[in-house]
Every structure is written in C-alpha cells, then in structure tokens.
Amino acid sequence: MKFRIAIIEDDRRYRVSLERLVSSAEDLELAGSYGRAEDALRAATRQSAAKPWDLVLMDLELPGMNGMKATRRLKEWWPTVQVVILTVFEEPGTVLEAICSGADGYLSKSAAGKEILDQARVVLAGGGSLTPGVARTLLELVRNPLPRPRSDAAAPSRMDLTDREQEVLRALVQGLAYKQIASDLGIAIDTVRSHVKHIYRKLQVHGVAEAVGRAIREKLV
C-alpha cells in the first residue's frame, strides 16, 4: 500500500520539484498538489475517504490562508493527517509557532530530496521530523526560552511525567531518533515507544513535534 501525499506550495518551480520527488518514490503516491491552502482544503472536503491524505508537505508563506492556519484546520478536521512544514524560516519563534500549530515535522527547503523523503517516512512511521538546524533552534529555545506572558509566569507542573519520561522527552527535543534514545538510555526501543505513548497521553498531544513544542512552551525539560 502506498502512502498518499499532498503538496501545498505556491512556488511553482519548487512545487514541481516536490511532485517529481514524491512520484519517484515507490512507497509514496502523489495524491494532490496545490498552490493555495484554500484549494487544498476544498479538495480534501470533497473526498469520501476517512482522511484525504496520509501526509501533507506544507509551505508556511502562502497567499491567502498561511501554512500555520492551514495546518491547524487540517488537524482540526483530520487529526491523523501528518503535516510536515517545508520552509526557509528557522527563526525560533516561527519554528515554535509552527510546531504548536500541530505540525508533525519541520524541514528547511534547503534539505536534499533524499532527506525530505526519509523524514517524511519517519513521520509516517510515527516519529518526528526535524533537520539538524531546526533541532539546534529548539535546543536554543530550551536554553533561552522566549518571554512568556505575565499571566503565565507560574512555574509549570511536570504534567505527571516520570523521571524516565522526562529523559525521553528531553531526547525528543534534541531531535534524537527512537533508536538513538534507546541506546543512550540503555533501554529497548519498544520501551522508548511505550514512554512516548505515555508522554503523548499526559501532554494531550498527537505527535513528536507537538510534544516538543509543548515541552518548550511549558518548560518541561
């Protein structure tokens, strides 16, 4: 079975390159390509399937509805649709806002085609997708958090996370894959997956990127 991929990108040249990239992969199917988020959402609502696509490659800077709003709308209507942001922006505030919008991954447009495909597959398998540059940005946010509103100044709770779950969450923020986390902590990869599921439930999130965004926002790591 092939995973159905949609592309939402207003730069025609880059969109065509993504179309060719997805079409070249044996395990992926190009299910739609759009220059505007509004067109993509209209097409999605006309489909009779439980969800229109498995994964969306989403640009941030779009005419009309931007990528963050489109991501929130997709996640509201189809929570299991995975969204990977592809953008030139790696500023801390932009990265965090995109992740908090529900994005499952965040990749720079400078990433090579193979890296985009590899990271898309990681997200489809339930992992998170962050280029090294974006991971460094998130680490910088952990070390030097953005200012918080005064009304939010109280110290956050640990959300009932265990010490081990905090270790796993910290590793996710660092952009580590499950296999690396298992090696670093000396535990089985299935144990890592179990901890991640518990983290998702306690943080009320649905993916790695969303968990990372909340961890940084709530200063949980």
For the entire predicted model, the pTM comes to: 0.66
- Placement of tokens 């089985």 in the chain: 188
Parse the chain into domains and list their residue ranges. 3-140, 147-217
- pLDDT of 155 reads 40
- pLDDT of 154 reads 41
- pLDDT of 151 reads 43
147-217 has CATH 3.20.20.220 classification: no
- pLDDT of 49 reads 76
For the chain of 221 residues, list the mean pLDDT of each consecutive stretch of 10.
95 96 96 96 87 94 92 89 84 68 82 90 75 58 51 52 90 80 91 90 78 76 72
Closest CA to 136 of 177, 95, 83, 180: 95
Residue by residue, DSSP assigns 55-104 as EEEE-SS-SSS-HHHHHHHHHHH-TTSEEEEEES---HHHHHHHHHTT-S
- pLDDT of 139 reads 53
Identify the CATH number of the domain defined by range 3-140. Answer: 3.40.50.2300
- pLDDT of 22 reads 97
